[in-house]
Amino acid sequence: MKIIAAVLERCGQTGPFDQTEPLVLGQLELDPPQLGELLVRIDAAGLCHSDLSVIDGNRVRPMPMALGHEAVATIVACGDPDDARFARGDRVVLSFLPPCGECVACVSGESYLCAKGAAANGAGELLRGGKRLHRGGEDVHHHLGVSAFATHAVVDRRSAVKIDADIPVEVAALFGCAVLTGVGAALNSAQVRAGESVAIYGLGGVGLAALLGALAGGANPVVTIDPSAAKRTLALELGAAGAFAPDGAEAEIEALLGGKPDVVIETVGKAKVLEAAYSLVRRGGRVVTVGLPNPAEMFSIPAVSLVGDAKTIIGSYLGSSIPARDIPRYIGLWRAGRLPVERLLTSVSPLCEINQLFDRLAGGDAIRQIVIPQQRES
């Protein structure tokens, strides 16, 4: 079938994107789903720094590529007509790492580290191999098994988690990345306990979701660090006990807490920020790093401190989440009013505005922007 998708021709693009237009909307040919795959209509998709890092070249991927990985969709067809788990019309949240279910990580309960899923993502292919997107006889690569900036997509069934259809699509899309990663960083990776103090670097969609997750886990107090005054104000409205600009933040936090925090979550994706997080956490505390820095960046700490201070550094990919387990769990917390993730929404726009929206994301002016691929330009 013919679809419309936003395609990136090459990495390393610079802004303003409204002028350079790295993402080009065009017609692609989409193959029907194979056995174990789903054809879905994309209902809503979110812009994430992981998308931006491919555009600007911080994360090099094979080109051309149809971008987008945080989305909610409706199933149009199943590759297996006898699929007992999914059916036409089901609403699903899409996860950006399909687990194979067979590798060491998967069978050990750590499917977010699936080797086969990671390899497929790196190659720009689906988990079962190959590509389903084409243009003029040329293959177009998939982004993280999803390629959500499009009217339709074919995904592996293991990328999909069925949800109730009554959740607004602009809210449901957030559970595919921002919520899964941020809330998971607090509840799964850090395993925050009631009464623990938590500091969070970065207040994008993932950082604010980590704030909500820490509060839902009973952490108290929770403080945040971000250069944006508007984001700091929102953090306070969401329940942070303090929100600080980066300069001098560590001293202010220690004064507020009466010492160093038990847990520090870093969502910025900069080695220097990770070093600051390591310095800030108390002796015996835990540092969770979620942000993806440029691969060339190196993280430096005094080696003796790992023993002398007994600090723990925890890498958190996908929020150490198992989507089939955690997406329904987090939706339950949202329904109970304990994860007001709708507060992370900055705007809802048609897909044709994609380049302008990435300018806002790159400039730090947006938290989570949602595009509706089916919505036409007014």
User: Taking the domains of the chain in order of start, what are their residue ranges?
Assistant: 2-176+340-372, 179-319
Kindly state the average pLDDT of the residues 239-252: 97
Q: Tell me the pLDDT tens digit for each residue of 103-131.
A: 999 999 999 999 999 999 999 999 999 99
Q: In what order do the strands lie in the sheet with 242-244?
A: 242-244, 222-225, 198-201, 263-266, 286-289, 312-315
The answer to whether residue 378 scores a pLDDT higher than 80 is: no
- DSSP string spanning 177-192? THHHHHHHIIIIIS--
- Residue 133 near residue 28, CB atoms below 8 Å: yes
The answer to whether residue 359 scores a pLDDT higher than 60 is: yes
**What was the pLDDT predicted at 376?**
57
**Confidence class of residue 148 from pLDDT cuts 50, 70 and 90?**
very high
The answer to whether residue 361 scores a pLDDT higher than 80 is: yes
Q: Please give the share of the chain, as a percent, with pLDDT higher than 70.
A: 99
**What was the pLDDT predicted at 81?**
87
The answer to whether residue 365 scores a pLDDT higher than 90 is: no
Give strand ranges (E) for the chain: 2-8, 23-30, 37-46, 65-66, 70-78, 91-94, 133-135, 138-142, 152-156, 160-163, 198-201, 222-225, 242-244, 263-266, 286-289, 312-315, 345-350, 368-372
The answer to whether residue 332 scores a pLDDT higher than 60 is: yes
Say which residues have a Cβ less than 8 Å from residue 319's Cβ, sequence separation at least 6. Answer: 112, 180, 181, 182, 183, 184, 185, 187, 188, 189, 290, 326
Assigned architecture for domain 2-176+340-372: Alpha-Beta Complex (3.90)
Handedness of CA 74, 78, 84, 85 (dihedral sign): negative
Q: What is the DSSP letter of 261?
A: -
Residue 242 phi, psi (nearest 5): -160, 150
The answer to whether residue 377 scores a pLDDT higher than 80 is: no
C-alpha angle 278/113/125, rounded to 5°? 125
Q: Tell me the pLDDT tens digit for each residue of 86-105.
A: 999 999 999 999 999 999 99
Q: Does CATH number 3.40.50.300 belong to domain 179-319?
A: no
The answer to whether residue 31 scores a pLDDT higher than 50 is: yes
Q: Please give the share of the chain, as a percent, with pLDDT higher than 90.
A: 97
Mean pLDDT of the chain: 96
Please give the helix or strand (H or E) that residue 55 lies within, else none: helix 49-55
User: What are 225's two structure tokens?
Assistant: 């660090």
| Gap between the terminal Cα atoms of the chain | 25
User: What are 189's two structure tokens?
Assistant: 């990776």
Q: Tell me the pLDDT tens digit for each residue of 151-192.
A: 999 999 999 999 999 999 999 999 999 999 999 999 999 999
**What was the pLDDT predicted at 319?**
97
